[in-house]
Structure 1
Amino acid sequence: MIISPNASLYSSIVSGPYRERFLKNYAELSDQVSTFLNQDWLLQPQMRFACSRLLVGATLLLPPSDESIVVNSAEIYGRTRSVDSHRQSFKARRGASMRNSYPPESTTYCNIWPTTINDSDGNKLMIGSKTFNILVTSSMRLDKRCDPELGPTTNSFMLDTDEKSLNTKIFIKETAWAAATTLADDPTANQISSYDVLCQLRQLRTKFHHESTCTLCRASSEMTDDVTSRPYTAAPYLLEAGEKTKAKDFMDTNSDNIDSINNKLPKSKVLALNEKDNNIDIIGNSGLNTQLEKIANQLASSIAKANKSVKPTIIASFNQR
C-alpha cells in the first residue's frame, strides 16, 4: 500500500489538537483495499478478523467542512444468516425501506459505503461492504477537541445523507493494513489477537445460544488496544467461564461458573437454572439464552455508565506526544 499525504486530511488534522499523532502513515482507501474488504467469508472465514483489524485506526474525512474522525474500536457483522445470526436487517418499517449500510450502485470506493443508520439505539456510524457492515463503537474527532464517544452510537460525525456518504473519504493506517493482511493469509485464524480474548466478543444482547455470537471479531486500534481504553461489554459477565481463554471454551460452562456469574449480579438478575447435569451448554440452549438476554438488557445502563469512565484514559492517550 502506497502511503501518500492527502491535502484535505492534512489540513483537518494539522489544525486539530492531535496533529503529532495523525500526520503520517495513512493512505486513502484504494481498489486493492476495496477488493480485500469484499472477500466472501464462506470461502475465507478468516476475513472477518482481517477486515475488522483493518478498519480500526482508520480515519474518515467529510469535505467540504473537513470534519474528521478516527475509529478507535469497531465490531463487524456478516451479511448472511449462514455466517452471522446478528446480520443487519433489511426489513421495511411501516411499508418504507430503511436506510442501511449495503453499498448502492454508485459509491466513491468500489462496494464500500460509510453511512449513519438511525435505529432504536440512536445514530450508528457504519462502514458497509458487500460482505459485512462494521459498527464503530469508539471514536474521536480529530479536527477539534471533543470527548470520545463509546458505545453503539456516534453523534459527533453524521453521514445521514447519500451526499455525505459519497463525499466521505476513508484513510487506512499502514500498520493496520500490515496486521490485516497477515490475518488474511492465515486460514486457521479464529481471533484478532492472542490476548484479552473476552474483549474481542461483540457487545450483543440476543441470541447467546448461536455459535456466531461467540465470534472474536471486535477490534481496537493500537492507541486504544488495552483494557482501560476499550468500550465495556456484557460478555465477561455472561460468558466468562473460569480461566478459559479460547472461543471454543465458551460453548459450555458449569454450575460453579454460573454461581460465579450470579455473585456479580444483583439478586433481581440472578440466573435461575434447573439443569440436572452439572455441565450447562450455552450454544443451542434456548432456555439459558432467554435468561441471558434478560440480564444483558438489564446490564445495558451499567455498561453505558462504565463507558464514561473510559473517556479520560482515551483523552490522555491522544494527548501524549
Structure 2
Amino acid sequence: MDLIRQSPFARILETRSFKELNKKASTYLNLDWSRYPQAGYITAHLLSGSVITNIQSGQTILVNEVEFYGRDAMLDCHKEPTGEQKGVPEKTSIPSTTGEEYYKRVRPVTLRRRDGVRLVIGTNTCGVLVTSCIRVDRILEGSISVGGDTRNFEISESELKNIRVFVDNERLGKGKKMKKKTVKKITKDFGADRLRQVRSKFHRLNTFRLIRCSGPLTDAPQFRPFSVFTIGRNSDRDSASSGAAHIFYKMALAVIHYQEKATFTLEDIRFGQQLCQSAKDISIPMQNIHELFAEVDTKIPIIGNKPLNKQLHAIAEAQSTRIAKANKNVATELKDLFLG
C-alpha cells in the first residue's frame, strides 16, 4: 500500500500486511449477537490494528486499541445512546440505509459527546470505540491519542464517502476462525486489562465483558490505555488512587471468575480504606461501602447490588482525571515504539 510505504512510520508498519475491508469482512462485523455471542469479539479483533484513511485529505491513523459496545440494551447496558437532545436526533454510528458511507453496513464517524470526541466504527450490531490511535501520514504534535477522546483524526458526515478501512491480514484470518469458537474459549486467557473503561453500572454482569482488544503492534501492557480496573499499574502503592484501584481490580477478578456469584470482601474494602484517607472524593464513598456490610458479614454481592454500584460510580468518577494523567505515560511509550 502506498500510504504505508510513504508513511514516516513505514519501518514498523511494513512488518504487517493489510487488506481493504470487503463484503465478506463486513459480514463478520455485522454478525448477530443473539445467534453468535462471539460476534463482538470478532469485530474488535478485526478492527484493532486496522488502518483508517481519508483519501481526500490524506490523513491516516493506525488503530492501536478498541472496545466494543452493543446495540441492544438487554445485551449491553453500556450501549451507544440514541434518541434526542433538545428535540434534535442524537448523532450515532449506526450505518445509514441510504448509502452515505463508502462501505455497506460499516460507518466510521466522529461523535461529539459531553465527555469528549469519540471516533467510532459503527456496524448494525455494535459500535467500536477507538481508545488509542496514532496518525501515520506524518509526524506532528498530538499525533498520538490515548483514552478515547480522539482529536487527531475526525470524520464529519460530509467525509464518510472518503473513508477507507484496511484490516490486518493476520487478524482477518484469525477472525474467521473465531466464528467457530465459543466465548469461553476465546476469553480463557483474558484478564482485567480486557475490561472497558466505564464509570457506572457495576451491578450489571455485562459491564464485565472482556471486550477490549489491542492491535498486533501494541499488544503489550505498556501500550494499553488505563481503566478503573488497571490504573493500579500506574499508581503509587501507598496513594489514594492505589486504594481505589485495589478494590476495582479485586472486583474485576471476582466477577471474571465467579460471574453472578462474585462478592466483595470486607478485607479488600478495609485495605483500600487504609490508603485513601487523604482523598475525600474516594474515602467517603469507600466508607459508605464499608457500611453496606452488616455486623456479621464479611462478603457482599457485586452483581445486582445497586447501593454498592452507587458508591463505585462515585469512586470511578474521581479516578477519571488520574486515568487521563496516566494515559499520558502510555502515549510516551507509544511514541518510543513508533519513533524509536
TM-score normalized by structure 1? 0.90
Which residue does 1:140 correspond to in 2?
Answer: 134
Q: Which amino acid aligns with 1:13?
A: I
Query: Over residues 203-258 of structure 1, what are the superposed CA-to-partner deviations in whole Å (9 max), with x where a residue is unaligned?
Result: 00111101111000011112211111110100242432299487133632211122
Cα deviations across residues 52-86 of structure 1 (Å, max 9, x unaligned)?
Answer: 11110001010112110011011100000111000
Unaligned runs of 5+ in 2: 231-244
The answer (yes or no) to whether the contact 1:211–1:283 under 8 Å persists in 2 is yes
Q: How does 1:5-20 map to 2 (within 5 A)?
A: 5=1, 10=2, 12-20=3-11
Match of 2:48 in 1: 56
Partner residue in 2 for 1:298: 318
What residue ranges of structure 1 are gaps of 5+ in the alignment?
none
Cα root mean square deviation, aligned: 2.0
Cα distance per residue 1:101-156 (max 9 Å; x no partner): 00001132120000000011121100000000010000000101133111121111
Aligned match for 1:65, one of 57, 67, 82: 57
- Tell whether the 8 Å contact from 1:223 to 1:317 is kept in structure 2 after alignment: no
Aligned match of 2:74: 82
Contact kept in structure 2, 1:214 and 1:247, CA below 8 Å: yes
Choose which of 140, 149, 154 in structure 2 pairs with 1:158. Answer: 154
Residue 130, structure 1, aligned to residue 141, structure 2? no
Q: Which residue of 2 aligns with 1:102?
A: 94
Q: Secondary structure at the match of 1:180?
A: helix
* 2-structure distance, mates of 1:129, 1:243: 28
Specify which of 111, 114, 125 is matched with residue 120 of structure 1. 114
In the other structure, the counterpart of 1:175 is 170
- Deviation, structure 1 residue 263: 4.1
TM (normalized to structure 2)?
A: 0.86
Q: Which moved more, 1:144-153 or 1:94-103?
A: 144-153
Distance 1:243 1:94 in 2: 37
Q: Which aligned pairs between 1:121-270 and structure 2 lie closer than 5 A?
A: 121-146=115-140, 147-161=143-157, 163-189=158-184, 192=187, 194-195=189-190, 197-236=191-230, 237=245, 238-241=247-250, 244=253, 247-249=256-258, 251-265=262-276, 266-268=278-280, 269-270=282-283
Change beyond 3 A, Cα 1:108–1:151? same
Task: Indicate conservation of the 8 Å contact 1:73/1:230, yes or no.
Answer: yes
2:95 aligned counterpart, secondary structure: coil
Residue 124 of structure 1 aligns with an amino acid whose one-letter code is R
Distance 1:264 1:32 in 2: 52
CA–CA distance in structure 1, aligned partners of residues 212 and 254 of structure 2: 15
The 2-side partners of 1:188 and 1:314 are apart by 30
- Cα distance in 1 for partners of 2:183, 2:93 equals 29
Percentage of pairs with the same residue: 27
Distance 1:204 1:256 in 2: 24
Over 3 Å counting, the alpha-carbon distance change for 1:249 and 1:148 in structure 2 is farther
Q: Which one is further off, 16-25 or 308-317?
A: 16-25
- Contact persistence 2:29–2:123 (CA under 8 A): yes
- 266-275 vs 31-40, which deviates more? 266-275
CA contact (8 A) 2:48 2:64 kept: yes
Aligned to 1:287: 307
Q: Is the 8 A contact 1:205 1:296 kept in 2?
A: yes
Provide closer, same or farther for how the CA distance between residues 263 and 223 of structure 1 changes in structure 2, counting only shifts above 3 A: farther
Alignment partner, residue 238 of structure 2: none
